[in-house]
Amino acid sequence: MKDTADFVHWFRSAAPYIHGFRGKTFVIAFGGELVADGGFVQLAHDVNLLSSLGVRLVLVHGVRPQV
């Protein structure tokens, strides 16, 4: 039962942010190393979650620290 209570507490604390960022545009920049290191799958999951919450996304691939 504690897991359910923890989830409800987390969800209630996240709800204002979900509402506040719906319809906003996020720019997500990532280097090519992310794809090579296998981190791209996790990024894809996170991007999918943000999209399902109504966040508009711009993905910029191949960004280096100079940008």
Domain that holds residue 12: 2-61
Residue 67: its pLDDT value, please? 54
pLDDT in tens, the chain (67 residues): 688 999 999 999 999 999 999 999 999 998 888 877 888 899 999 999 999 999 999 999 887 765 5
Measuring CA to CA, how many Å separate 63 from each of 28, 29, 31, 67? 10, 6, 5, 7
Give dist(CA 31, CA 24) in Å, integer: 23
Asked if residue 48 belongs to a domain, the reply is: yes
Q: Is 60 left (phi over 0), alpha (psi -120 to 50) or beta?
A: beta
Rounded to whole angstroms, how far apart are CA atoms 35 and 41?
8
Domain presence at residue 67: no
Query: What pLDDT is stored for residue 64 in this prediction?
Result: 72
Structural domain contains residue 12: yes
Q: Number of structural domains, the chain? A: 1
In the 8-state DSSP scheme, what is residue 55? -
As a whole number, the mean pLDDT across the chain is 89
Does a structural domain hold residue 66?
no
